[in-house]
């Protein structure tokens, strides 16, 4: 009997070693890649060289966009894009996002105005976006949550009819597709990707600004260079946002493998869904039909009443089984200390609040074995079977609430 008990109730943990929630995906680095590294290190160009040019060209072709401007991080890409637009006023954005979305607006003096999300897709809802737009709105900054496309056409037509630029925080979405089959990256005025270690494509740290606007791309290349157009007479308050050559080389090394890695991630997600689809109290992020998410994170919503445990209790019990989880994005921006000034009362963003409270990211690793997915699902199911006992533990201070 003990064997079937969850670890939190004294059973044997399902996993003998802790499984992380994610791990960087990197293509094997054989002699060919070492030769590239040697070439870079001996070229005399550790930045602004042939690797950067090649990477930008290859990413632009992969996405199907005229320009891909590589920078040192996704945060830098967002910040420099907003700087180039030189806007004043309010930025309408979701509160349910990573802090960098808001920070980029604040570093440019823009005031956040939070729009609520759809409770199933977790993306900013077009209706809520329309309600948040006022005469002071300078920009709409939408997000593709966890790599699944937001309702971009609806939001874009709202922006176009009001003459407001739309910028898309696509940090997690490189390789994802819109419902029309086109790759994420060519909509709005610009779409900004992150290439940090947790992203589907990484180059250590980095970012890409994808845009079909040639003037913006030109200005961004100046902005990432301190605002210096080359004559030492800065034309805007740029930053050092350059991507190093070694990072660009790693990005080029990884890019050809991205479609295969995304297919592996989808296969693992399908397995999770198949195992857990009938579990009352657990629901998966809804992806628009015919769209493709990168599944940068695999998120489930935990309904305390139906599952029998809160999200935090489930996370605590899973940790005892050796399963690491994350709570993205909790707290949402409007509950974070740096956004105190823009806090809104409970009930104003009801879907943001309930999703942030219920969401849990489960492990999704490169080349994940299906057995491992099955073990994690078994852990979830046996925890659920014993939810009443675990809940009782929590009432006596034993479980992570
Ligand atoms: C939605 C979102 N925006 C922006 C960023 C920032 O990207 P970076 O870490 O490359 O600066 C992230 C990073 O995870 C993100 O998830």
User: If you ran DSSP here, which 8-state letter would residue 244 be given?
Assistant: B
CA distance 176 to 314: 29
pLDDT at residue 275 in the model: 98
Pocket of ligand 1 (CB under 6 A): 73-75, 97-98, 100-101, 143, 169, 171-172, 194, 196, 207
Task: Kindly give the confidence (pLDDT) of every residue in the chain, 401 residues in length, as a single tens digit, with 9 standing for 90 and above.
Answer: 455 899 999 999 999 999 999 999 999 989 999 999 999 999 999 999 999 999 999 999 999 999 999 999 999 999 999 999 999 999 999 999 999 999 999 999 999 999 999 999 999 999 999 999 999 999 999 999 999 999 999 999 999 999 999 999 999 999 999 999 999 999 999 999 999 999 999 999 999 999 999 999 999 999 999 999 999 999 999 999 999 999 999 999 999 999 999 999 999 999 999 999 999 999 999 999 999 999 999 999 999 999 999 999 999 999 999 999 999 999 999 999 999 999 999 999 999 999 999 999 999 999 899 999 999 999 999 999 999 999 988 666 544 44
> Hey, whose CA ends up nearest to atom 8 of ligand 1?
74
For the CA of 144, the nearest atom of ligand 1: 1
CA distance 230 to 227: 9
Range(s) of the chain covered by CATH 3.90.1150.10 = 2-10+258-395
Which of 91, 93, 171, when mutated, tests ligand 1's pocket best, judged by the most ligand atoms within 8 Å of its CB?
A: 171
Across the beta sheet with 359-362, what order do the strands follow?
Answer: 282-284, 298-302, 359-362
pLDDT at residue 178 in the model: 98
> Hey, whose CA ends up nearest to atom 12 of ligand 1?
171
Q: At what angle do helices 387-395 and 370-385 cross, to 10 degrees?
A: 70
Residue entry with tokens 């995906």: 25
Residue entry with tokens 């990884």: 254
> Hey, whose CA ends up nearest to atom 1 of ligand 1?
98
Q: CATH number of the domain at 31-255, out of 3.50.30.30, 3.40.640.10, 3.40.50.460, 1.10.1740.10? A: 3.40.640.10
Ligand 1 centre distance from Cα of residue 194 (Å): 6
Ligand 1 centre distance from Cα of residue 63 (Å): 19
Which of 194, 326, 329, when mutated, tests ligand 1's pocket best, judged by the most ligand atoms within 8 Å of its CB?
A: 194
Longest Cα–Cα distance of the chain, Å, equals 76
Backbone angles phi, psi at 199, to 5 degrees: -90, 160
Cα-Cα-Cα-Cα torsion 209, 213, 216, 220, nearest 10 degrees, comes to 30
Cα→Cα distances 138→87, 121, 166, 189, Å: 6, 25, 9, 13
Range(s) of the chain covered by CATH 3.40.640.10 = 31-255
Which of 100, 105, 141, 224, when mutated, tests ligand 1's pocket best, judged by the most ligand atoms within 8 Å of its CB?
A: 100
Which of 91, 97, 98, when mutated, tests ligand 1's pocket best, judged by the most ligand atoms within 8 Å of its CB?
A: 98
Picking from 21, 103, 136, the residue whose alpha carbon sits closest to that of residue 368 is: 21
- Please say whether the beta carbons of 261 and 176 come within 8 A: no
pLDDT at residue 396 in the model: 60
Q: CATH number of the domain at 2-10+258-395, out of 3.40.50.1000, 3.30.470.10, 3.90.1150.10, 3.90.226.10? A: 3.90.1150.10
- Kindly write down the DSSP assignment for every residue of 28-41, as one continuous string: ---HHHHHHHHHHH
User: The pTM is what?
Assistant: 0.96
Ligand 1 centre distance from Cα of residue 196 (Å): 8
pLDDT at residue 1 in the model: 44
Ligand 1 centre distance from Cα of residue 395 (Å): 37
CA distance 200 to 50: 24
SS3 167: strand
For the CA of 199, the nearest atom of ligand 1: 14
CA distance 167 to 80: 12
For the CA of 172, the nearest atom of ligand 1: 16
Backbone angles phi, psi at 191, to 5 degrees: -125, 135
């Amino acid at each position: 009997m003990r064997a079937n008990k969850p670890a939190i109730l004294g059973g044997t943990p399902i996993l003998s070693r802790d499984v992380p929630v994610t791990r960087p995906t990197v293509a094997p680095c054989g002699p060919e890649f070492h030769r590239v590294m040697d070439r870079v290190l001996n070229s005399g160009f550790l930045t602004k060289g042939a690797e950067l040019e090649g990477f930008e060209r290859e990413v632009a072709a992969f996405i199907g966009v005229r320009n891909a401007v590589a920078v040192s991080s996704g945060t830098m890409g967002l910040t420099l894009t907003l700087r180039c637009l030189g806007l004043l006023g309010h930025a309408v954005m979701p509160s349910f996002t990573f802090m960098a979305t808001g920070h980029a607006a604040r570093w440019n003096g823009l005031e956040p105005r939070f729009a609520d999300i759809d409770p199933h897709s977790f993306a900013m809802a077009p209706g809520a976006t329309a309600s948040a737009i006022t005469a002071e709105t300078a920009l709409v900054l939408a997000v593709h949550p966890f790599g699944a496309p937001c309702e971009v056409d609806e939001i874009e037509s709202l922006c176009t009819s009001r003459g407001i630029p739309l910028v898309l925080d696509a940090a997690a979405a490189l390789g994802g597709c819109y419902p029309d089959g086109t790759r994420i990256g060519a909509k709005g005025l610009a779409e900004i990707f992150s290439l940090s270690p947790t992203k589907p494509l990484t180059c250590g740290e980095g970012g890409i600004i994808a845009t079909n606007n040639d003037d913006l791309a030109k200005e961004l290349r100046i902005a990432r260079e301190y605002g210096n157009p080359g004559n030492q007479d800065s034309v805007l308050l740029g930053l050092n946002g350059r991507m190093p050559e070694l990072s660009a080389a790693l990005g080029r090394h990884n890019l050809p493998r991205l479609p295969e890695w995304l297919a592996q991630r989808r296969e693992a997600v399908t397995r999770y869904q198949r195992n857990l689809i009938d579990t009352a109290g657990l629901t998966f992020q809804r992806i628009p039909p015919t769209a493709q998410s990168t599944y940068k994170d695999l998120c489930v919503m935990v309904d305390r009443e139906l599952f029998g445990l809160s999200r935090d209790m489930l996370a605590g019990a899973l940790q005892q089984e050796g399963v690491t989880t994350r709570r993205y994005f909790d707290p949402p921006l409007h509950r974070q200390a740096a956004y105190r000034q823009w806090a809104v009362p409970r009930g104003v963003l009801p879907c943001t609040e309930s999703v942030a409270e219920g969401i849990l990211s489960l492990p999704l690793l490169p080349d994940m074995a299906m057995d491992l997915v099955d073990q994690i699902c078994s852990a979830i199911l046996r925890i659920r079977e014993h939810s009443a006992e675990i809940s009782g533990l929590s009432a006596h201070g034993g479980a992570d609430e």
